[in-house]
Amino acid sequence: MGDLSVMTTEDASQAAASARPKKVVLVVDDTKDNLTVIGELLEPHYRVRLALSGERALKVAQSEPRPDLILLDVMMPGMDGYEVLERLRQLPATREIPVIFVTAMDATEDEEHGLQLGAVDYVTKPIRPAILLARARTQLELKQARDWLKDQNGYLEAEVNRRVWENDLIKDISLNALAMLTEKRDSETGNHLRRTQAYIEALMGRLVEHPRFAHLLDTRTRRLIAKASPLHDIGKVGIPDQILLKPGRLTPEEFEIMKTHSQIGADAIDEAIHRVLGESSRLISSDHEGSPLDFLETVRQIALHHHERWDGSGYPQGLAGDAIPLSARLMALADVFDALICRRHYKAAFSLERATELIVEGRGSHFDPDIVDAYLAERDQFADIARRYSDAPE
């Protein structure tokens, strides 16, 4: 058996380089001899495409294989090099291709004009091969570096978006699981969380154009409120079973204990934030827009205040009017409406008409008057939501 040849590192590098596709250089000149000379000079190193006019150059530049570099004559009949460059910069497919002017003109103002239009370099005629090759190689390497950075930035952006989506998904599933645990403790609530969330979304969709609420209900805030709403009764996990699951009406003393669920829920959120973040939570939860704790603050407000009343007769703090957070005012109506139309162990389900009468009776006392008006405008949608997420077995 003969000796095995050994490939050196230099041989391997050369082999790898030869395996890579050649860069494409488009040469534009109205003189065939110039095209021939430049083409023969570049051919050993690059794949060369030729164009005898500006019009032809624009077509070639947009066809495959797309050029990585354009060597462009300035003085051409019809469309000169300056106009060609302007057109190239206007086209999405060609605006990033570097252009080197190859011209007999050597006046400073000519160079300045071309550079202002977007040319990356100038090479003067008669061509000096070493200069032309060096300038071409430099611009192709710069373009390769720019393309690599662009690809990396695109990859990193996609990866960040993917991670954010995954984190949001995990957060949403975890919070909904937490909300479902609360729901499961009260066997009569059924699809209550789904319905109340959908009711609130319907109300916000109506109120977003209202002069009182338009500045409060931007897209981000509506999303926060909708996602936070299923956690409104999270404090019920702290209510004893003999009260929460009592099959009849609560005594006044028991009801006072039941009322504490709103404060229990808010305190749990506060304690969780402080336990995880400690003093740093003050910095993260500052009043600036876009705080990462905005969602939890929305949950806290809804949990604490959704039993407040417009006239100040609610609990736990007896807030009135606009002092009640908007998210809690929305939940107040959605929560009461759902309780009215659903059967409870202490009452039968009310009809839509009777529930509407009671909601209207609470306009200005229990509920924000404008939110009641939004409900009346969306009543048919409320009815559809109630049917869609009915507790009745299929």
- pLDDT confidence band for 189 (50 / 70 / 90): low
CB distance 66 to 23 below 8 Å? no
pLDDT on residue 394: 45
Mean pLDDT of 196-216: 96
At which residue do the structure tokens 């009592």 appear? 246
pLDDT higher than 80, residue 94? yes
Residue 66, both tokens: 């797309």
* Percentage of the chain lying above the pLDDT 90 cut: 57
Mean pLDDT of 77-86: 91
pLDDT higher than 60, residue 9? no
Residue 108 carries which side chain, given as an amino acid letter?
A: T
pLDDT higher than 50, residue 391? yes
* Percentage of the chain lying above the pLDDT 70 cut: 85
Q: What is the CATH architecture of 178-388? A: Orthogonal Bundle (1.10)
Higher pLDDT, 106 or 154: 154
Lowest mean pLDDT among 114-128, 180-194, 235-249, 335-349: 180-194
Residue 25, both tokens: 């250089």
pLDDT higher than 60, residue 115? yes
User: Please, what is the average pLDDT of the chain?
Assistant: 86
Mean pLDDT of 74-87: 91
Mean pLDDT of 115-120: 86
Residue 259 has phi, psi (to 5 degrees) of: -65, -20
pLDDT on residue 57: 93
Per-domain boundaries in the chain: 11-148, 178-388
pLDDT higher than 90, residue 88? yes
pLDDT on residue 160: 84
pLDDT higher than 60, residue 119? yes
pLDDT on residue 381: 97
pLDDT tens across 136-163, in order? Answer: 999 999 988 888 888 888 788 888 888 8
Distances in Å between the Cα of 37 and the Cα atoms of 22, 124, 160, 387 are 19, 14, 49, 80
pLDDT tens across 254-306, in order? Answer: 999 999 999 999 998 888 878 777 655 554 444 445 566 888 899 999 999 99
Give the C-alpha separation, 165 to 170, whole Å. Answer: 9
Q: Terminal CA-to-CA distance of the chain, rounded, Å?
A: 81
Give the C-alpha separation, 259 to 276, whole Å. Answer: 27
Mean pLDDT of 235-263: 90
- pLDDT confidence band for 79 (50 / 70 / 90): very high
Mean pLDDT of 32-43: 92
Angle of helix 219-228 relative to helix 294-305, nearest 10 degrees, comes to 60
Residue 50 carries which side chain, given as an amino acid letter?
A: L
CB neighbour list of residue 188: distance below 8 Å, 6 or more residues apart: 342, 343, 344, 345
pLDDT on residue 6: 44
pLDDT higher than 60, residue 380? yes
Q: What is the pTM of this model?
A: 0.60
Mean pLDDT of 176-188: 66
Superfamily of domain 11-148: Response regulator (3.40.50.2300)
**94-123 CB burial, b ≥16 within 10 A, e <16:** beebbbbbbbebeeeebbeebeebebbbbb
Which CB contacts under 8 angstroms, 24+ apart, belong to 86-90?
Answer: 86/117, 87/54, 87/58, 88/58, 88/61, 89/117, 89/118
